Amino acid sequence: MHETTILQVEGLVTEFKSERGIVNAVNKVSFDLERGQTLGIVGESGSGKSVTNLSILRLIEYPPGRITGGKVLFHDQDLLSVSENEMLSIRGKHISMIFQDPLTSLNPVIKVWKQIAETLMLHQGMKKQEAKKQAIELLRIIGIPDPEMRAECYPHQFSGGMRQRVMIAMALSCNPDILIADEPTTALDVTIQAQILDLIREKKEQYQTSVIMITHDLGVIAEMCDQVCVMYAGRIVERAGVEALFGSPKHPYTRGLLESIPRMGNVGTQRLHSIKGSPPDLANLPPGCPFRDRCDKAMDICASQLPPEVVLQEAEGERTVACWLYPQEGKHGRA
């Protein structure tokens, strides 16, 4: 753990009970988040990226879900073992979250200012009038035109982009150490997406917030993040600095993902690369590497043994890969 590490996730395991058995949605996930850093978590649906972050905030509904292992160290305390009351004072104040769909995550029958003020009254102990003033100020900061009038509106009177701005205003209201953004722009159009990404970047710089950015969009990762974790079937298969990851992807899954996106300015007559098959059933994971059935580099060992995370020392910094193609190149990491 470096001095600047603000959050350390170690061996996190989250399971869900389903009719077909135990689903290991998150399977021994470990990563560090540094102060002021933007960490991207990228993966396809069902790869466990959202569940990882819901687990950090202990927002997993039980039953069917349960965090069964690991540690989440934040300011030297393990969030997985603190009391629910302590957790309440951490959520929204020290670690806050914005969700993909701003319409369902705002309360439709409460005026916008009240929803923002609620956080301020709870965590900052503000009185109602003071909190209202601050809420209007936050709306102004976040770029809502005519904030005094807009504060009196209900969420349905806002457009998708404005609603996401409100979510960001709420999330930043207590100046949190960490902002978790779960697909914050997936529901938005590209020009509005550009506005929102710009806003997150600007506020992050201004308040020195660390950001965890969850997305399936490799373009968003490239534009926003410093470090990237690639998740597949509940595990992190590769973790590296953004330029190293895009410049020379090591894991066959990362490579396949990067090759399968159509690129702008590359008007294609040739076929796109594609990863064969589809992601495995998490309730019924075979032994060995979960990616091996889709991997064009699969070897015998991949079918029987799960590849450990291997740390590679590179010029650009550290990288970890969980793939048998890189067995001896470095010391084993936290498998």
Partner 1 sequence: MAERETLLEVRDLKVHFPLEKGILFKRKVGAVRAVDGISFTVQQGEALGLVGESGCGKSTTILAISRLERITGGEVLFSGVDLASLSESDLTRERQNFQIIFQDPYSSLDPRMRAIDIVAEPMSIFVKKGLLSLSEEEIKEKALSLLERCGLSSIYANRYPHEFSGGQRQRIGIARALSLGPKLILADEPVSALDVSIQSQILNLLKDLQKEFDLTFLFIAHDLSVVEYFCDRIAVMYLGNIVEMASSKELNDNPLHPYTRALLSAVPVPDPIAAKKRKRIILKGDVPSPSAVRPGCPFYERCPKAMPRCKEVKPILTEQGKNHQVACLLYEESSDA
Among 193, 209, 210, 254, binds partner 1 (CB under 8 A): 193
We find the least distance from the C-beta atom of residue 148 to partner 1, in angstroms, to be: 18
Of 98, 296, 317, the closest CA to residue 228 belongs to 317
Cα distance between residue 198 and residue 176, in whole Å? 18
Q: What is the DSSP string of 94-152?
A: TEEEE-S-TTTTS-TTS-HHHHHHHHHHHHS---HHHHHHHHHHHHHHTT-SSHHHHTT
| Nearer residue to partner 1 within complex by CB, 90 or 213 | 213
Q: Does position 243 bind partner 1 by CB under 8 A?
A: yes
Which range, of 130-138, 170-178, 221-229, 301-309, touches partner 1 by CB under 8 A?
221-229
Restricting to residues 4-63, which ones interact with partner 1 according to CB under 8 A?
44-45
Restricting to residues 273-302, which ones interact with partner 1 according to CB under 8 A?
273-276, 278-279, 294
Please give the distance of CA 30 from its chain centroid, rounded to a whole number: 13
Which range, of 96-104, 106-114, 265-273, 305-313, touches partner 1 by CB under 8 A?
265-273
Cα distance between residue 160 and residue 195, in whole Å? 12
Q: Does position 201 bind partner 1 by CB under 8 A?
A: no
Among 70, 102, 155, 256, binds partner 1 (CB under 8 A): 256
Among 83, 85, 125, 264, binds partner 1 (CB under 8 A): 264
Restricting to residues 65-124, which ones interact with partner 1 according to CB under 8 A?
none
Among 217, 293, 308, 330, binds partner 1 (CB under 8 A): 217
Cα distance between residue 313 and residue 320, in whole Å? 9
Cα distance between residue 172 and residue 203, in whole Å? 8
Q: Does position 144 bind partner 1 by CB under 8 A?
A: no
Answer yes or no: are the C-beta atoms of 331 and 311 closer than 8 Å: yes
What is the gyration radius of the CA atoms in the chain, in angstroms? 21
Cα distance between residue 177 and residue 287, in whole Å? 39
**C-alpha angle 262-234-248 in degrees, rounded to nearest 5:** 45
Q: Does position 221 bind partner 1 by CB under 8 A?
A: yes
| Nearer residue to partner 1 within complex by CB, 63 or 265 | 265
We find the least distance from the C-beta atom of residue 169 to partner 1, in angstroms, to be: 17
Q: Does position 157 bind partner 1 by CB under 8 A?
A: no
Binding site for partner 1 (CB under 8 A): 44-45, 145, 159, 161-162, 189-195, 197-198, 216-223, 242-243, 246-247, 256-258, 260-268, 271-276, 278-279, 294
